[in-house]
Chain A
Amino acid sequence: MGKWFRRQKGGQSNKDKNEPTFSELLEKCKESKDFISFRQGKSFSFYISYYKTLVNPDFIHRDLLSPITKHPIQSLDELKNLIPVENVTITDDVKDIQDKLLSGFILVHENETSARCALIPAIAVEKRQVTIPETEFSVVGPKESFVEAIDVNINMVRKRLPLPELYAKEILVGKLSKTRVVVMYIQGIANEDNISTVLQRIKDIEFDQIIDSSFITQLMSDNHNSPFPQLIDTERPDRTASVLSEGKIAIFVDGSPQVLTGPTTLPEFFSAFEDYFTTWHIASFFRLLRLFSVMFSVLSSPIYVAVLTYHYQMIPKDLLSPLIASRSGIPFPPIMEAIILELTIELLREAGARLPTKVGQTIGIVGGIVIGTAAVEAGLTSNVLLIIVALAALASFTTPVYQMSNTIRIIRFPFLLAAQFWGIVGVSMCFGFFLSHLLKLTSLGRPYVGPVYPLRLKDLKDSLYRLPFEKLSRRPMQLLPEDPIRFNKTRAEKKQDIDE
């Protein structure tokens, strides 16, 4: 892998050596049908060149062509003063010209050989409307979600944190795509080490194209071989603003409606942002429910296999006879039965995810009712396992972060195999294996299992459960923030009513 990157880097640098001249650049551009270059002006004539697919056509007619036909210009400097837009530059750097031309600037030049030309920004931004968050939907609270345009995304966060300390550092990543990646953090709150780690890792990324923020997650995560995501991706601007003020760092990627935040901890993956919109009792209950459902989702079918294969003594006596009755006609051992059903559920989920929404619903009905009932009636699976597997699948969908819920669904398969080979011993062994992996895992160099290990009692207030806001007077120590105090605790607790 590393070698492959290095070779490509070498190839790129070779290209850099023989930079094209201005006329060569124009020649190359003219190969494309959407590149337009024409002559304009009477006394002082010049060329106007641009990609018609990248620029805003209204701008050309309204703000460029109409002024210069009314007031004939004599030089490029005059043009610069005439055009009512900022950022008009005059340059002869061919590389700069190439970059700007390809990002939607209009090129005004005197002739086809001299590189001296004016670059006028006329970028046509194709962007989607800001819509309701779909993967992190919440019943109450803000209903904005990020879109593909990075400036809109940054705008939505800046609106929520009007601070000059909210820094946005931009880095271009990707040899071919040259994607804008913006790292945002609050200076004076976010830990300096974390900031430099993030900046350094993004600078070190060697890849040709960055299409989405998930590319960045995969390329900069601490352990590439771990199935657990090591950065949270969110589509909610409110969540991003909230974690920024905790001292975390947000990574915006142009073209991606998801923003990465980190350093993160395992409990954070099981906290939905809606938890902050409900009272703390309800939020805590839901968080604990989600933790329980993760355990249930991962362990229920492996324990079923283990118990039915090895540990018949563990089955409660009133459950024995229904279990035997439902199992007695099944031609497969429990492991086969479990794997078949688990794969069926995964198939349904995958088919539902690949198909358009309307057809996806049909798949749900077909899968849930027809396949489930038919499998039981045909004697292929027992209905007890059908209930367990369906509940486990349901439980896995309670995880608010999509990437994590995928992980939860996948890691039950090694558990199933261990249950078949070594029974409950195998399940506990597999559990121990995953536990030690999680203990070793880090997110941007900070421990992944969060306030639980190493134990930070103060951080626990907002991790596995959530206490009232008055109690959360400190930022998570896990992040080592520069300024740990969120607000004055004594003043927050002293509530003065007027009539007292």
Chain B
Amino acid sequence: MNNIKKAFVIIFLSILNGCSIQPRILEDIQLVTSFGYDYAGKDKIKATINMPITPVVENAPPGNQVLTAIGHTSKNIRQILQSRSPKPLYIGRTTVVLYSKTLAEHGILSLINTLQRDPELGRDLTLAVVDGKVEPLLSFHYPWAEVTTKYMEQLLEQNELQNIPKTNIHDFLFRYYGKGADPFMPLLKKKGNEIKIKGMALFKGDRYVGYIPYRKSFIMKLLFENFKSGIYEFKLKKENHVAIENLASKVDYDVQYRGNQPHITINVNLQGKISEFQSTELIGNQLIKSVEKQADRTITREAKNLVHTFQDLNVDPLGLGHKVNNVTPHFNFSRWNKAYADVPIDINVKIKVVQSGITE
């Protein structure tokens, strides 16, 4: 290596040294794992942050610490909170962000926007709306898990597998900025010493407009994505209820034009297993046929109701506009937005009971 090369290496290393970022040693910073915003009058928001405090003793569970402050912008609030924290606050490990229903009704884009810009945050951040106030939900210490954040994470994670459509900040932004789709989030509610998922909160733009109850969110998941779990219960005869476990469901959208009018058909194919039957009757072929038939009818009806609810609220969480756009040249979104409420949507649900448990 000649001298010029050596000089280059030394120069580059010294320049790089100037580029170096401030070290953030893990135990010297305070990680915020979840936070939420409440409405606090015009232009003002109240933020609550939840952070785990790790005790010095090993193998001891971390404790919960909550701070609250009121301000105009989330960064301003962080500054205020900083004045009360012994260690600098970092939000890079946040997994859940909550918005109160009242705040969501006023629009939450500015608050999501700041999360979107932050390079420290991952794209798998879960956003949720809280029915009621965020602060009591975040400050309560639940007996289910050592920290509130972990409890919420696990609650949402396992429900996203079975009962509610998957959402995160990336999906929210995709639906918000993408044309022909509206975002949605899970809706949480604190009830005594537990948090429950009340349903799915529906948004028009960045504003909350309504929700569908938890029971119906399974139907929404059926229409929304392919998945392989979850249980649906329906009435077979007068008194008998049947529970069908979903083994694999596939959804497929078909858009066809009849004249000038787009006609959407949603086909759902579900392979299921009879997991519970409220009768002592033996499960035979005859019964399976009637179960399939009844299930088809019930789920189709429920799904139609659900889609009508969406059309009545004029929100499009299924992204139908996007799907119609895909097959239509020169698609006019403003015309679609006006026509959306009256677009004919057909739903075909095909259920096949492939097994009924090991007694068979």
Contacts and interface: CB of A to CB of B under 8 A. Distances in A.
Contact of B59 (A320, A325, A328, A422): A325
Contacts of A423: 21
A312 B26 contact: yes
Interface in A285-309: 308-309
Contacts of B55: 325
B213 interface: no
Contact of B60 (A309, A312, A325, A333): A325
Interface residues of A, number: 22
A309 B92 contact: no
Contacts of A329: 56
Given A317-B93, A325-B59, A327-B26, 5 more contacts: A308-B26, A310-B21, A312-B24, A328-B54, A422-B20
Interface string B78-114: 0000000000001011010000000000000000000
Interface string B37-71: 00000000000000010111111111000000000
Nearest to B9: A433
Interface in A301-339: 308-310, 312-313, 315, 317, 320-321, 323-330, 333-334
B210 interface: no
A448 B175 CA distance: 52
B94 to A, nearest CB: 10
A434 interface: no
A334 B153 CA distance: 30
B21 A321 contact: no
A313 B56 contact: no
Q: Is the interface of A mostly helix, strand, loop or mixed?
A: helix
Nearest to B62: A321
B29 interface: yes
B304 to A, nearest CB: 40
Contact of A310 (B24, B33, B56, B62): B24
Interface string B332-350: 0000000000000000000
A421 interface: yes
A329 B58 CA distance: 10
Contacts of A320: 31, 52, 93
Contacts of A333: 23, 25
Nearest to B90: A312
Contacts of A308: 25-26
B239 interface: no
> Residue among A310, A325, A326 with the most chain B CB within 10 A?
A325
A421 B20 contact: yes
A320 B58 CA distance: 13
A328 B58 CA distance: 9
B254 interface: no
B17 A309 contact: no
B20 A309 contact: no
Contacts of B24: 309-310, 312
A96 B95 CA distance: 85
B58 A325 contact: yes
Contacts of A326: 58
Given A312-B90, A313-B93, A328 B27 contact: yes
B194 to A, nearest CB: 22
Contacts of B62: 321, 324-325
Contacts of A324: 26-27, 54, 62
A326 B57 CA distance: 9
A330 B19 CA distance: 28
A309 B27 CA distance: 9
B262 interface: no
A313 B92 contact: yes
A31 to B, nearest CB: 50
Nearest to A379: B56
B120 interface: yes
Interface in B1-45: 16-17, 19-21, 23-27, 29, 31, 33
Contacts of A312: 24, 26, 29, 31, 90, 92-93
B122 interface: yes
Most buried by A among B20, B59, B61: B20
24 contacts: A308-B25, A309-B24, A309-B25, A310-B21, A312-B26, A312-B92, A312-B93, A313-B93, A317-B93, A320-B52, A320-B93, A321-B54, A321-B62, A324-B54, A324-B62, A325-B56, A325-B57, A325-B62, A328-B27, A329-B56, A333-B23, A333-B25, A421-B17, A423-B21
